[in-house]
Homo-oligomer: A and B are copies of this chain.
Amino acid sequence: MSRFFSKKYSGLVPYTPGEQPKERKYIKLNTNESPFPPSELAQKMAAEAAKRLMLYPDPDCRELTATLSELIGVSSDEIVWTNGSDDVLNFAFMAFCDDEQPAIFPDITYGFYSVFAEANRIPYEMIPLNEDFTIPLDVFKQKKGTVFIANPNAPTGIALTVKEIEELLQSDPDRVVVIDEAYVDFGAESCIPLIRQYDNLLVTQTFSKSRSMAGARLGFAVGSKDLIADLHTIRYATNPYNINSMTMAAGIGVLQDEAYTWKNCVSIIENRGFASEELKKMGFEMTPSMANFIFVKHPEISGEALYTSLKEKGILVRYFNKPRISEYCRITIGSREEMNELLKQIQIVLEELL
């Protein structure tokens, strides 16, 4: 820290992303990336856009917005684009939280929520998940404050139903509920159809998971025109050209190639079922995941031991050294070949450690 750093950030602890090691080739099952390459159309359109990089991108993202608008049936003024969905979540903390309207979210969820709150100096409360890692909706309904819920939740993969979220929206129409649907395409239900009915609902999604574009940084939020206008105000007051031309083009390409995305989602869902069943046979327990990862523990091996042993064997998974979940590992669902290799190596780990 420099002697010039503003005191307002003196206690700020940044987010720690999953490892991106360069020193060795790993099977990467630690950051919930897709095992499938990006859509060929997306690749081609990005390469075309690279030829015209001397011009600024369209700050209104008109073509990308029109493409999504047609696909998901919301109007263009109900959409805002950001540099990954982290950015739109940060904007939502900025726009809809303050000293009078604190942020509330589960104690076990996407680790960035508390960092966003700290970075924006917003008071926040973390509501403990139930023992089975489900979200205690009744507690959320009774609390005052802007709600942030990942659905499915991370790192558990457990999803709420749209009906449950609707009840949460109704419990206090005077506060915003942000539903972070980063992982929704792997079997959970999206709340997007509710945005016209509830002006307090903001839904965020990302192109990093089901659309194989983590490297492109593209996220969006949909909500009522007024909520979206607020996020545009923040965007135009910080970085109006936040989406680069290549990402914008790739985004249009992948949206025009929906069949490819859905084929990949079906593979992930199948591989999740396969890996889960095999791991259960080996004695693992897990939460019922609707995401592209599973959250597993073995009654006789610590989460850290599993993480470390697999890393030695060339497989990266995510281990969180945190209360309540330190016995678990979060494992991204990859291709069938990757899952077979994972199962093979876990079998070896079990033989070594038990």
Give complex CA distance A215, B58 in Å.
Answer: 9
* Interface pair B233/A12, CB less than 8 Å apart: yes
Once A1-B233, A119-B238 are accepted as A-B contacts, the answer to whether A55 and B216 lie under 8 Å apart by CB is no
0/1 string, A228-266, CB within 8 A of B gives 1 = 011011111111111111110010000000000000000
0/1 string, A195-221, CB within 8 A of B gives 1 = 000011000000010001111110000
Query: Which residues of chain B come closer than 8 Å to A17, judged between CB atoms?
Result: 56, 59, 240-241
Binds B, one of A38-46, A129-137, A161-169, A308-316: A38-46
* Interface pair A234/B9, CB less than 8 Å apart: yes
Closest B residue to A91 by CB, please name it.
Answer: B238
Q: Which of B31, B214, B216, B239 contacts A246 (CB 8 A)?
A: B216
Once A5-B230, A38-B50, A90-B239 are accepted as A-B contacts, the answer to whether A55 and B215 lie under 8 Å apart by CB is yes
**A interface SS class:** loop
* Interface pair A34/B54, CB less than 8 Å apart: yes
Give complex CA distance A27, B144 in Å.
Answer: 54
Closest B residue to A101 by CB, please name it.
Answer: B6
Query: Which residues of chain B come closer than 8 Å to A157, judged between CB atoms?
Result: none
> Shortest beta-carbon distance, A310 to chain B, in Å?
19
Binds B, one of A92-100, A180-188, A341-349: A92-100
Once A2-B230, A227-B2, A233-B12 are accepted as A-B contacts, the answer to whether A84 and B239 lie under 8 Å apart by CB is yes
Is A322 located at the chain interface by the 8 A CB criterion?
no
Is A288 located at the chain interface by the 8 A CB criterion?
no
* Interface pair B213/A246, CB less than 8 Å apart: no
* Interface pair B52/A215, CB less than 8 Å apart: yes
Is A47 located at the chain interface by the 8 A CB criterion?
yes
Is A224 located at the chain interface by the 8 A CB criterion?
yes
> Shortest beta-carbon distance, A249 to chain B, in Å?
9
* Interface pair B55/A118, CB less than 8 Å apart: no
0/1 string, A7-28, CB within 8 A of B gives 1 = 1110011111110101000001
Is A301 located at the chain interface by the 8 A CB criterion?
no
* Interface pair A227/B4, CB less than 8 Å apart: yes
* Interface pair A240/B50, CB less than 8 Å apart: no
Give complex CA distance A234, B119 in Å.
Answer: 8
* Interface pair B50/A246, CB less than 8 Å apart: yes
Nearest 6 pairs of A and B residues by beta carbon: A14-B236, A2-B226, A215-B245, A47-B47, A53-B215, A54-B212
Given A20-B60, A90-B238, 4 new contacts (CB under 8 A): A4-B146, A9-B234, A46-B50, A46-B246
Selected A-B contacts with CB under 8 Å, 18 pairs:
A2-B227, A4-B95, A4-B176, A6-B97, A9-B233, A13-B237, A14-B236, A33-B55, A37-B51, A50-B246, A52-B215, A53-B216, A86-B240, A119-B237, A216-B244, A217-B241, A217-B242, A246-B250
